Amino acid sequence: MKECSKELSEPVIGCAIEVHHALGAVLLENTYEKCLAYELSMKDIPFNCSSANSDTVQEY
């Protein structure tokens, strides 16, 4: 794996794991997407999201 890819993938996967641990595995995909967007924005990781934007993402 390229070093720049590893530098980005590890924090993104960490955010996804945090969301999964906080919410469990029983909610709809759009809920996880919004919460992941929140986590990524809190860690200043740039992203594009199909349904969540900075106006609708709130702390979970």
Average pLDDT over residues 2-6: 70
Residue 60 to residue 22: CA distance in whole angstroms: 9
- Give 50's DSSP letter: S
The model's pLDDT over 6-54, given as tens digits with 9 standing for 90+, comes to 888 999 999 999 999 999 989 999 999 999 999 999 999 999 877 545 4
Grouping H, G, I as helix, E, B as strand and the rest as coil, residue 25 is coil
Element (H, E) at 20: helix 3-23
Supply the pLDDT for residue 58: 56
The model scores a pTM over 0.85 = no
- Give 27's DSSP letter: S
Short-list 58, 38, 37, CA closest to 48: 37
Q: Where are the domains of the chain?
A: 3-42
Supply the pLDDT for residue 6: 80
Supply the pLDDT for residue 60: 59
